[in-house]
Structure 1
Amino acid sequence: MNRALASLAQRLHEERHALVGSAVELIYRELNSYRSVPVEAVRSSLEKNIARAITTLRDGKVPEADTGDEAAFTTRERAEQGVPIEDIIRAYRISLRVIHDRFIEFANETPSSVEVVLRGSNLLWAVGDWFTARAAAEYQHRAIHDAVRRSLERAELLRAVLAGAADSDTSRGRVAAAGLDPAGQYAAVKALPREGVSPEQFCRAVELSGSVGARPALMAQFGGVCVGLAPRRPQVADLGFVAVGPHVSLPRIPESVAVADRIFSLTNRPFQGVFGVEEMSWRLAVEAEPWVSGHLRSKYVEPLAQDGEFGALVLESVRTYLACDRSIKHAAAALVVHQNTLRYRLARFEEATGTSLAETDVIIEVSWALQQVPPPHH
């Protein structure tokens, strides 16, 4: 059988140039994606493809799984020319079809046994499977490599824009290439996913939600935190915590970054929601006035420290009371305590601090002081 296959393989070898020509014609006729690929590049690849098929018939064995440099090279070259993986594989199978059809014709002209024809056909289609596996692996490797490269380029661009280099000669072209509008208004965004949501999923959700038509948001991950720019306020409150700076022109983005950073550091996570200047208002001044903050902490927080865990309960009760617009009913329900228990805790706070929660100045000062005290994690 091997001698008969070798004889048929020799006849195919003698017609290899004609076989290449037939395969080239079929590929350009059946695959539109190849019309931008130079004919000589296709011809060169087909010469290797057909040589591989003929060698397989002659030797009577399928190529080893770990071989296939020509398959990887062809896949890389076609991918760079914009040919999708399915058409790369179809082109290879077209070349196999051409050689298989001619193989059958030669076999019918000679007293070849059914076993020889079947063996030869199986070898040729096994070559197709070998190429498909190698091409798919190379294409996937390339896709991962390209994705990593784009991610790094995006992160590098974001660093430059967030640092205020959007208007530099080196960044201006990259900004436009990334889809950002050089004349548009953008807000700096700093976001953290809630537990159970992957940073990749969250970053993508923020990006989609913050985009406006042809004006995309641009986000990247830095240490598990999603950072970037958005032409509109993202709406992903159910997926995690988002700090949003004010909308400004790209050259002024560092100003928006400073506000988003402050909101990110001030807001007590694991809160969920979208927080901007509208939500934080006066709280943004807390960090900017350390002397005032220190004074108010000593006045309203430290007097409860001597009460230990009960003091922490009192402070949390005051925080909840103020968050509920000083409604005893609603605050007690939020704390899951009796209303009289809440009243006792509030009275203890007033006693320890020597103040009254009925006074406007005290309410403002206590709210400021408690902004520096993270709530307990339940």
Structure 2
Amino acid sequence: MEGSTTVPEAVAALHARIGALTDEVIAALRGQLPSYAALPPEGIRPRVTMAIRNGLAVVQRWADEEQRSPRGGVRDGGRSHDLPAGYLDEVATLARVLPVEDVLSAYRIGSDVVWRCFGEEMAARHATAEELLPIAETLRAWANATTLRIVRSCHTAARRDITTDRRNSALVRALLLGEARWDDPDDPDAVDGQGTDGTTCDRSALRLPFRARLPVSGSGSPAPAAASEHEVLARAVDLLGPWLARDAVGGPLVTTVDGDAAGLLTARPDGLCRGLVVGVGAPAARAALATEFTRATQALRAAVDSGFVGTFTREELGLRATVVAMPAIGAQLVGLRLEPLAERGEDGAQLEEAAAAYLRQGMRLEAAARSLYVHPNTLRNRLRRFEELTGTHLRDPADLAEVWWALAHRRIHGPAD
């Protein structure tokens, strides 16, 4: 059969340009799968190259067996389904970073690219469709069997990770909350890079602590109560997966803190990350993680209060984060600018609401009146009474800033005891 002698030539041609072929597959993966687009190309290149070589090896084995059994003998012998040692472990590790369905889709996308290029090489050697058909059937059977083994391997790895994830969760909580002892030189149980429970974490690497929460709805109401800690954590792992720090076996270093997802990142997430509100600290070594996690928490609280979605540092939120970080000053301003209204009861609450609406609407009187469903003259009268009772001049920038800070403090920290 002429095609059986042409196949090795086509396979050799693809091996000769394996680098360009790998680039083409990676471009297709990043163009069709957002999760792969978030990964650095060099991070997935070795796996893509290995997968391409595996597929070409299947075709080469088919050609060898065809030459031995040209009249329909057994061409596969089961060997075309063999995979290199450690290949499934590599895929399972990748599935800890990316959704399993994306890993399987990537396998299909890569196979399509390689098959198209192989077909072009065969066509250049005048191969016919009849000659390509048995090769396609062999590759399809191999791809189906390999996909099934990948799914089984990923499920087995996921079950094995349950215990590891619990240990990781304990380690991460201890690091973020300042309760870890791994950096204590006097701790006899401390092993370089390893916690007392056997969990490993690179001692010298700088990590960005983060804290994340589901965004509020467009109406300003909180996210549904059905969003449990598990759901918040799952969303964080799904959206932040490419940037999550991981242990020695690929487990994500994440946990939950008071209902929020929290953990360590290797880099700041790219893009807006619309599905989460994320506060991040600065890159820090182990000893400073708790301090930076506090800053990440402050950034998260300020972003949530402002109705923002995405990833923020405390510095990027400016005065909003300062309100969170300096509650003592906020309490003083509440006493100065808002407490005089307290003795007025419901009337005082109405005047405070008027001032809050005025600031929320950018000091546009008519817009603020509409938001309160009152006439602009009514709002104008309430603002005048607010100024009289609190000694505030809303046209004075300093007074205006103090009123804004006092209102933000009360909204974030709640009423004083």
Q: Structure 1 residues 333, 275: closer, same or farther in 2, change over 3 A? A: farther
Q: Does 1:226 align with 2:261?
A: yes
Alignment of 1:305-316 (within 5 A): 305-316=342-353
Shift of 1:171: 5.8
Q: Give the alignment's TM-score, normalised by structure 2.
A: 0.47
Query: 1-side partners of 2:183 and 2:294: how far apart?
Result: 19
Alignment of 1:14-93 (within 5 A): 29=79, 31-33=81-83
Query: 1-side partners of 2:251 and 2:366: how far apart?
Result: 45
Q: Structure 1 residues 268, 32: closer, same or farther in 2, change over 3 A? A: closer
Query: 2-side partners of 1:204 and 1:299: how far apart?
Result: 44
Query: 2-side partners of 1:242 and 1:357: how far apart?
Result: 34
Shift of 1:313: 3.8
Q: Is contact 2:173–2:255 with CA below 8 Å preserved after alignment?
A: no
Query: 2-side partners of 1:207 and 1:180: how far apart?
Result: 20
Shift of 1:236: 5.5
Query: 2-side partners of 1:279 and 1:232: how far apart?
Result: 13
Q: Structure 1 residues 270, 240: closer, same or farther in 2, change over 3 A? A: farther
Query: 2-side partners of 1:255 and 1:144: how far apart?
Result: 32
Q: Secondary structure at the match of 2:386?
A: helix
Q: Flag the structure with larger Rg.
A: 1
Query: 2-side partners of 1:316 and 1:246: how far apart?
Result: 37
Shift of 1:228: 1.2
Query: 2-side partners of 1:317 and 1:146: how far apart?
Result: 57
Q: Give the structure 2 partner of residue 157 of structure 1.
A: 171
Alignment of 1:81-230 (within 5 A): 142-143=156-157, 145-162=159-176, 163=178, 170=191, 172=193, 182-184=204-206, 186-194=207-215, 195-196=223-224, 198-208=231-241, 210=243, 218-230=253-265
Q: Give the structure 2 partner of residue 318 of structure 1.
A: 355
Q: Give the structure 2 partner of residue 256 of structure 1.
A: 292
Q: Does 1:241 align with 2:291?
A: no
Q: Does 1:362 align with 2:412?
A: no
Shift of 1:340: 2.9
Query: 1-side partners of 2:155 and 2:243: how far apart?
Result: 31
Q: Structure 1 residues 243, 316: closer, same or farther in 2, change over 3 A? A: farther
Shift of 1:357: 1.0
Query: 1-side partners of 2:289 and 2:174: how far apart?
Result: 10
Query: 2-side partners of 1:260 and 1:241: how far apart?
Result: 11
Q: Secondary structure at the match of 2:159?
A: helix
Q: Structure 1 residues 294, 374: closer, same or farther in 2, change over 3 A? A: closer
Q: Secondary structure at the match of 2:290?
A: helix
Give the letter for the 2:399 counterpart: V
Shift of 1:348: 2.3
Query: 2-side partners of 1:255 and 1:346: how far apart?
Result: 41
Q: Structure 1 residues 334, 181: closer, same or farther in 2, change over 3 A? A: farther
Q: Structure 1 residues 153, 265: closer, same or farther in 2, change over 3 A? A: same
2:336 to 299, 308, 317: 299
Q: Structure 1 residues 295, 160: closer, same or farther in 2, change over 3 A? A: closer
Q: Is contact 1:190–1:228 with CA below 8 Å preserved after alignment?
A: yes
Q: Give the alignment's TM-score, normalised by structure 1.
A: 0.52
Shift of 1:368: 2.0
Shift of 1:371: 2.0
Give the letter for the 1:224 counterpart: G
Q: Structure 1 residues 257, 139: closer, same or farther in 2, change over 3 A? A: closer
Between the two proteins, what is the percent identity of the paired residues? 25
Q: Secondary structure at the match of 2:268?
A: coil
Q: Secondary structure at the match of 1:191?
A: strand
Q: Structure 1 residues 267, 280: closer, same or farther in 2, change over 3 A? A: same
Q: Deviations over 1:211-234 (max 9, x none)?
A: 69xx99843334531001231056
Q: Is contact 1:180–1:216 with CA below 8 Å preserved after alignment?
A: no
Give the letter for the 1:207 counterpart: L
Q: Is contact 1:245–1:276 with CA below 8 Å preserved after alignment?
A: yes
1:346 to 359, 375, 383: 383
Q: Secondary structure at the match of 2:208?
A: strand
Q: Structure 1 residues 149, 265: closer, same or farther in 2, change over 3 A? A: same
Query: 1-side partners of 2:406 and 2:205: how far apart?
Result: 41
Query: 1-side partners of 2:410 and 2:289: how far apart?
Result: 30
Q: Secondary structure at the match of 1:239?
A: coil
Q: Secondary structure at the match of 2:191?
A: helix
Q: Is contact 2:164–2:251 with CA below 8 Å preserved after alignment?
A: no
The gaps in structure 1 that reach 5 residues or longer are 1-24, 38-78, 84-134
- Count of residue pairs brought into register by the alignment: 252
Shift of 1:356: 0.6
Shift of 1:287: 5.6
Shift of 1:257: 1.0
Query: 1-side partners of 2:299 and 2:385: how far apart?
Result: 31
Query: 2-side partners of 1:182 and 1:323: how far apart?
Result: 45
Q: Deviations over 1:79-108 (max 9, x none)?
A: 99x99xxxxxxxxxxxxxxxxxxxxxxxxx
